[in-house]
Amino acid sequence: MPDPQGTAEQIAMARMALLPANAQVVYPCEEYWVPVVSVMGRVHVFPGIPKLFEDLVDAYLPGLVARLSGKTVLAFTRALVGIRQRESAIAPILDKLQERYAPMGVKIGSYPDWVPKKQPTTNEVSPDWKPTVVVSVVGKNKEQVEACRAEICLLLDGIDLGTNTP
Protein backbone atom coordinates (compact mmCIF):
# COMPACT_ATOMS: atom_id res chain seq x y z
CA MET A 1 0.00 0.00 0.00
CA PRO A 2 1.25 3.53 -0.71
CA ASP A 3 2.55 5.24 2.39
CA PRO A 4 4.36 8.60 2.26
CA GLN A 5 6.18 7.68 5.49
CA GLY A 6 6.90 4.01 4.63
CA THR A 7 9.55 2.12 2.70
CA ALA A 8 11.19 3.56 -0.42
CA GLU A 9 8.77 1.58 -2.62
CA GLN A 10 5.73 2.75 -0.63
CA ILE A 11 6.93 6.36 -0.81
CA ALA A 12 7.40 6.06 -4.59
CA MET A 13 3.87 4.64 -4.98
CA ALA A 14 2.42 7.47 -2.87
CA ARG A 15 4.07 10.04 -5.16
CA MET A 16 2.55 8.60 -8.34
CA ALA A 17 -0.63 10.66 -8.10
CA LEU A 18 -1.77 13.83 -6.43
CA LEU A 19 -5.37 13.69 -5.25
CA PRO A 20 -7.75 16.33 -3.93
CA ALA A 21 -7.88 16.45 -0.14
CA ASN A 22 -11.55 15.38 -0.17
CA ALA A 23 -10.94 12.37 -2.44
CA GLN A 24 -11.87 8.94 -1.13
CA VAL A 25 -9.32 6.25 -2.01
CA VAL A 26 -10.67 2.70 -2.17
CA TYR A 27 -8.76 -0.53 -2.80
CA PRO A 28 -11.47 -2.92 -4.03
CA CYS A 29 -9.04 -5.66 -5.18
CA GLU A 30 -6.73 -7.16 -2.59
CA GLU A 31 -4.30 -8.32 -5.29
CA TYR A 32 -3.70 -4.79 -6.65
CA TRP A 33 -2.17 -1.75 -5.00
CA VAL A 34 -4.03 0.38 -7.57
CA PRO A 35 -6.98 2.25 -6.06
CA VAL A 36 -10.24 3.62 -7.34
CA VAL A 37 -10.53 7.29 -6.43
CA SER A 38 -13.90 8.88 -5.74
CA VAL A 39 -14.31 12.65 -5.61
CA MET A 40 -17.41 13.85 -3.77
CA GLY A 41 -19.01 10.44 -4.41
CA ARG A 42 -19.85 11.53 -7.96
CA VAL A 43 -16.68 11.08 -10.00
CA HIS A 44 -14.91 7.73 -9.85
CA VAL A 45 -11.43 7.47 -11.37
CA PHE A 46 -10.12 4.11 -12.56
CA PRO A 47 -6.77 3.19 -14.13
CA GLY A 48 -6.60 3.18 -17.93
CA ILE A 49 -4.96 -0.24 -18.24
CA PRO A 50 -7.77 -2.47 -19.56
CA LYS A 51 -7.04 -5.50 -17.33
CA LEU A 52 -6.82 -3.39 -14.16
CA PHE A 53 -9.87 -1.35 -15.19
CA GLU A 54 -11.96 -4.48 -15.78
CA ASP A 55 -10.97 -6.16 -12.49
CA LEU A 56 -11.47 -2.99 -10.45
CA VAL A 57 -14.88 -2.28 -11.99
CA ASP A 58 -15.96 -5.86 -11.23
CA ALA A 59 -14.86 -5.47 -7.59
CA TYR A 60 -16.01 -1.86 -7.07
CA LEU A 61 -19.41 -1.87 -8.79
CA PRO A 62 -21.37 -3.93 -6.22
CA GLY A 63 -20.41 -1.53 -3.41
CA LEU A 64 -21.18 1.51 -5.54
CA VAL A 65 -24.60 0.15 -6.52
CA ALA A 66 -25.33 -0.60 -2.86
CA ARG A 67 -24.44 3.01 -1.93
CA LEU A 68 -26.65 4.32 -4.71
CA SER A 69 -29.63 2.17 -3.82
CA GLY A 70 -32.71 4.28 -3.80
CA LYS A 71 -31.39 6.27 -6.74
CA THR A 72 -31.91 5.38 -10.38
CA VAL A 73 -28.88 3.56 -11.75
CA LEU A 74 -28.50 3.63 -15.52
CA ALA A 75 -27.43 0.24 -16.81
CA PHE A 76 -25.09 0.09 -19.76
CA THR A 77 -24.62 -2.86 -22.07
CA ARG A 78 -21.12 -3.70 -23.23
CA ALA A 79 -20.33 -6.06 -26.09
CA LEU A 80 -16.81 -7.19 -26.96
CA VAL A 81 -15.58 -8.34 -30.37
CA GLY A 82 -12.20 -9.95 -31.01
CA ILE A 83 -10.48 -8.96 -34.25
CA ARG A 84 -7.38 -10.48 -35.89
CA GLN A 85 -6.30 -7.35 -37.79
CA ARG A 86 -4.14 -4.33 -36.98
CA GLU A 87 -5.94 -1.50 -35.19
CA SER A 88 -4.89 0.94 -37.92
CA ALA A 89 -6.49 -1.32 -40.57
CA ILE A 90 -9.88 -1.40 -38.84
CA ALA A 91 -9.97 2.26 -37.73
CA PRO A 92 -11.71 3.63 -40.87
CA ILE A 93 -14.55 1.12 -40.56
CA LEU A 94 -14.93 1.77 -36.82
CA ASP A 95 -14.98 5.53 -37.49
CA LYS A 96 -17.86 5.13 -39.97
CA LEU A 97 -19.78 2.91 -37.57
CA GLN A 98 -19.19 5.38 -34.72
CA GLU A 99 -20.60 8.21 -36.85
CA ARG A 100 -23.75 6.18 -37.48
CA TYR A 101 -24.26 4.88 -33.95
CA ALA A 102 -23.18 7.96 -31.93
CA PRO A 103 -26.62 9.67 -32.26
CA MET A 104 -28.09 6.55 -30.61
CA GLY A 105 -25.74 6.88 -27.61
CA VAL A 106 -23.48 3.97 -28.64
CA LYS A 107 -19.73 4.34 -28.20
CA ILE A 108 -17.07 2.21 -29.88
CA GLY A 109 -13.52 1.76 -28.59
CA SER A 110 -10.63 -0.42 -29.72
CA TYR A 111 -7.93 -1.91 -27.52
CA PRO A 112 -4.88 -3.57 -29.10
CA ASP A 113 -3.13 -6.43 -27.32
CA TRP A 114 -5.85 -6.78 -24.66
CA VAL A 115 -7.11 -10.24 -23.87
CA PRO A 116 -10.39 -10.04 -21.92
CA LYS A 117 -11.24 -12.56 -19.20
CA LYS A 118 -13.89 -14.24 -21.33
CA GLN A 119 -12.60 -15.94 -24.46
CA PRO A 120 -14.80 -17.09 -27.35
CA THR A 121 -16.54 -20.39 -26.82
CA THR A 122 -17.70 -21.04 -30.37
CA ASN A 123 -16.58 -24.19 -32.15
CA GLU A 124 -15.26 -22.03 -35.00
CA VAL A 125 -12.28 -20.84 -32.93
CA SER A 126 -9.32 -22.86 -31.66
CA PRO A 127 -8.68 -22.74 -27.88
CA ASP A 128 -5.43 -20.77 -28.35
CA TRP A 129 -7.04 -18.08 -30.56
CA LYS A 130 -6.15 -14.58 -29.36
CA PRO A 131 -7.39 -11.32 -30.85
CA THR A 132 -4.91 -8.62 -31.86
CA VAL A 133 -7.57 -5.98 -31.12
CA VAL A 134 -10.65 -6.09 -28.90
CA VAL A 135 -13.45 -3.74 -29.93
CA SER A 136 -15.79 -2.57 -27.17
CA VAL A 137 -19.32 -1.36 -27.93
CA VAL A 138 -21.12 0.39 -25.05
CA GLY A 139 -24.58 1.94 -24.81
CA LYS A 140 -27.81 2.12 -22.81
CA ASN A 141 -29.93 0.38 -25.46
CA LYS A 142 -29.07 -3.31 -25.63
CA GLU A 143 -30.60 -3.81 -29.10
CA GLN A 144 -28.51 -0.99 -30.59
CA VAL A 145 -25.33 -2.31 -28.95
CA GLU A 146 -26.10 -5.81 -30.30
CA ALA A 147 -26.77 -4.44 -33.81
CA CYS A 148 -23.46 -2.57 -33.81
CA ARG A 149 -21.62 -5.65 -32.47
CA ALA A 150 -23.15 -7.78 -35.25
CA GLU A 151 -22.03 -5.28 -37.90
CA ILE A 152 -18.50 -5.21 -36.52
CA CYS A 153 -18.37 -9.02 -36.56
CA LEU A 154 -19.61 -9.08 -40.15
CA LEU A 155 -17.49 -6.24 -41.55
CA LEU A 156 -14.25 -7.14 -39.75
CA ASP A 157 -14.56 -10.92 -39.53
CA GLY A 158 -14.77 -10.56 -35.76
CA ILE A 159 -15.55 -13.08 -33.06
CA ASP A 160 -18.20 -12.23 -30.45
CA LEU A 161 -16.53 -12.26 -27.02
CA GLY A 162 -19.78 -11.73 -25.17
CA THR A 163 -22.19 -9.09 -23.97
CA ASN A 164 -22.93 -8.00 -20.43
CA THR A 165 -25.48 -5.72 -18.83
CA PRO A 166 -24.81 -4.92 -15.18
5 Cβ neighbours under 8 A, 6+ residues apart: 11
E strand map for the chain: 23-26, 36-39, 43-45, 77-83, 107-112, 133-139, 159-164
Q: What is the pLDDT of residues 91-133, one digit of tens each?
A: 999 999 999 999 999 999 888 866 655 555 554 556 666 778 8
Is 137:145 a contact under the CB 8 Å cutoff?
Answer: yes
What pLDDT sits at residue 1? 65
What pLDDT sits at residue 118? 53
Which residues face 82 on adjacent strands?
134, 159
From 55, 73, 101, 97, select the one nearest 165 (Cα to Cα).
73
Is 81:134 a contact under the CB 8 Å cutoff?
Answer: yes
